[in-house]
Structure 1
């Protein structure tokens, strides 16, 4: 597991989560908890941009970062090499999202959304429509729908199969973030002073969370879904809030940092495949919450999703000595993680579709049985005295005859083409040849007339 942050100082910096064993320096034998203690260690740094970094995204193989220099920088995280840069925007890159390891979606202040093929790194499509800068984008887990939020006070849903806008929702204020719920049944829009949760079925607001309900005095920031019923809310304050939607209540709040929280990420432990981290010490319901703040700290918290009222436990932190702006978390099993590489869910047929499929299969079987019955009847009528082996030979010969007829038909069609070509050599010439012959005859006539006049 590796946390990559973007900074105001134009750098990308990576921090790897590692464990401290008994042999490590600084181990205290009296403190048993240190046997399995985790801590963060810097893994790389890269001066990737010539402006402050605004957004980062990760796939199974690549890290993409966007900045105010209007450029997307690419790093192959597996081989630890720079891949290059992408430039198609005329404004600050505001958001980046990967779909698995196949496509990268980039949004910008210029109002455009670019779709990049990650194999050739070419811009396959540009989605136009927004009249203002794009604040946030998020992908449906199927990869078929993209939500985009703009300063023109509209939310657009894009049909990525057809490559066009499916519908538009007008909103009252400029919003900062849009994101899907884990099941994709809902999506949320985050404003400065409230949060609206929409039902994807009818496109209406099913729940609204006002800042006063949260006892929050400052601006709301990033939002995460734990599940369809629980949210983690951050903002310009030091606190993080866990909110339950169905009862409209704050069920937990804790001080995460000494300054405002800049970004948050929730990590499923199933996406981390590293035996050295001793992850078996955590329960199956545990998830890691990663937070970064203006206080220059990265913190990792363990959250028990079965009992969200219990306060999260701080398991690792590090002072990065720079001003972080955004982050992404790269794991070695990224496809399972919904926040980074997106896993396509298993397609399920409805009962009606299953019935129609079964009916079609039945009709096909009945047709085959009828065909076999008619063939057998003809065979029995023609060869009453023949045995089973002869009838089988007869069926095979009929099949061969049918194949021969098909071959003969194809040969006849080919022979027609050959005949039409051979006719060109005869009297019936195409118009082009006819014109040429007429010209030759005309020239001959003129030449003979001139010779006669001279004489």
Structure 2
């Protein structure tokens, strides 16, 4: 059998307990070619992790498509003196067929953006070194299409699949630390809490499940009465949403339904974000109506979220959205902002759009006229049906840190060791208690 491509000579395989389910992938050294029951216990353990990393000054956008093509872009921001503002640009760096079937999920590791993971209907998760623009190998643990990928930290990758399971991989030697089973049928979506201690998942079995990532087992579940398609935590981790068709259900952390939002058209993607100007949370909704709709989340949990703005410009459904806090170049203007948040969308129209969330004013609240916001940068793939998108960090600027900016990006290995705490040194397969 062909050998496995290595990451620092470590094998893309699992421990002996998982070896039967993980197959090596043939080495091809493929480079990225440039061609232009515990609800209460869970509630107590969901304290958000501190966000104190230095913000990147540039970024990379990676998008997948039905046509198996993987697109990569370098993103930059510079001062635009003519318009007394900032200029955002996307520069293509690669495009090539990355899988043998459609690409359904992409994810980039945070705090440095070293690793990229891509998942496909071919049942393989491919791992790429973004810094070297090189394919590392394939993880073949799942026996169904990959539906979602997420890096909870830069040393861990979580995957969801149509085979009904979730897998937590260690991003140093790529062993399987956890296999979470419990869904009967495909897992459509999963979301890791900001604390990195618990995760949620929804699937074809109409069930919402909560997983204890520290212990590698299910901690709670509830029947939704409909198929959940996307699940997302709020930025504070104090609530979450489940999307199904054109509805969004808002839940408290202990799985109590608070609100149901009915969107005007079929929804494909949702994402929470903080505001750039002012305080509070936003809910970003991409749908068949060719827009990314922004809902304001009131401070009073009893009040319904309301539409305050729309990101426009696409000519077909918005399939995916991702966000990234970004440092801005220093300006001579008094009180010039040091940072912003960019939104990146991928659409079936074949276009990648970048939006600047700083264009949403602080006083844009419920009752205001719905603001129309145009993209600040775009790239047209000329008809490729894009399915997913992610944003990776570029270089960091020391002057712009996040809210608690006390720590600069340090030694990767030592930080990875810190992140490994509590995730479990040994792999274990967790069967969910079906009575839960």
Tell me the residue number matched to 2:341: 287
Answer 1 or 2: higher relative contact order, Cα 8 Å, separation at least 6.
2
Quote how far apart the aligned CAs of 1:165 are: 0.4
Deviations 1:341-391 (A, max 9, x none): x9999xxxxxxxxxxxxxxxxxxxxxxxxxxxxxxxxxxxxxxxxxxxxxx
Tell me the residue number matched to 2:51: none
The CA distance in 2 between the partners of 1:39 and 1:83, in whole Å, is 28
Quote how far apart the aligned CAs of 1:303 are: 1.8
Task: Name the SS for the 1:269 alignment partner.
Answer: strand
Tell me the residue number matched to 1:368: none
Q: Which runs of 5+ in 2 are unaligned?
A: 1-58, 275-279, 366-370, 404-414, 420-436
The CA distance in 1 between the partners of 2:79 and 2:339, in whole Å, is 25
Change (3 A) 1:254 1:127: closer
Q: What is the TM-score normalised by the length of structure 2?
A: 0.68
Change (3 A) 1:279 1:263: farther
**Contact kept in structure 2, 1:303 and 1:313, CA below 8 Å:** no
Change (3 A) 1:280 1:258: farther
Tell me the residue number matched to 1:296: 350
**Looking at CA atoms only, which structure, 1 or 2, has the larger radius of gyration?**
1
Q: Does 1:101 align with 2:154?
A: yes
Task: Name the SS for the 2:214 alignment partner.
Answer: coil
**Contact kept in structure 1, 2:351 and 2:381, CA below 8 Å:** yes
Change (3 A) 1:207 1:237: same
Note the 1:125-204 alignment, pairs <5 A. 125-200=178-253, 202-204=254-256
Deviations 1:426-451 (A, max 9, x none): xxxxxxxxxxxxxxxxxxxxxxxxxx
**Contact kept in structure 2, 1:105 and 1:114, CA below 8 Å:** yes
Change (3 A) 1:286 1:152: same
Note the 1:48-447 alignment, pairs <5 A. 48-59=98-109, 60-200=113-253, 202-211=254-263, 216=264, 218-227=265-274, 229-246=281-298, 247-248=303-304, 249-270=306-327, 275=329, 283=337, 286-304=340-358, 306-308=362-364, 310-321=371-382, 322-332=384-394
The CA distance in 1 between the partners of 2:75 and 2:334, in whole Å, is 15
Change (3 A) 1:219 1:45: same
The CA distance in 1 between the partners of 2:340 and 2:79, in whole Å, is 22
Change (3 A) 1:208 1:34: same
Higher strand share: 2
Quote how far apart the aligned CAs of 1:240 are: 2.4
Quote how far apart the aligned CAs of 1:244 are: 2.3
Measured on the aligned residues, the alpha-carbon RMSD in Å equals: 3.2
**Contact kept in structure 2, 1:64 and 1:96, CA below 8 Å:** yes
Q: What is the TM-score normalised by the length of structure 1?
A: 0.65
Quote how far apart the aligned CAs of 1:34 are: 9.3
| Residue-pair matches, total | 325
Q: Which runs of 5+ in 1 are unaligned?
A: 23-30, 346-455
The CA distance in 1 between the partners of 2:141 and 2:154, in whole Å, is 20
**Contact kept in structure 1, 2:77 and 2:86, CA below 8 Å:** yes
Deviations 1:148-187 (A, max 9, x none): 1111000110111111100001101112100111110011
Q: Does 1:39 align with 2:92?
A: no
Task: Name the SS for the 1:33 alignment partner.
Answer: coil
Deviations 1:79-135 (A, max 9, x none): 211111100111100011112121111111000111111111111221111111000
**Contact kept in structure 2, 1:19 and 1:276, CA below 8 Å:** no
**Contact kept in structure 2, 1:40 and 1:317, CA below 8 Å:** yes
**Contact kept in structure 2, 1:7 and 1:324, CA below 8 Å:** yes
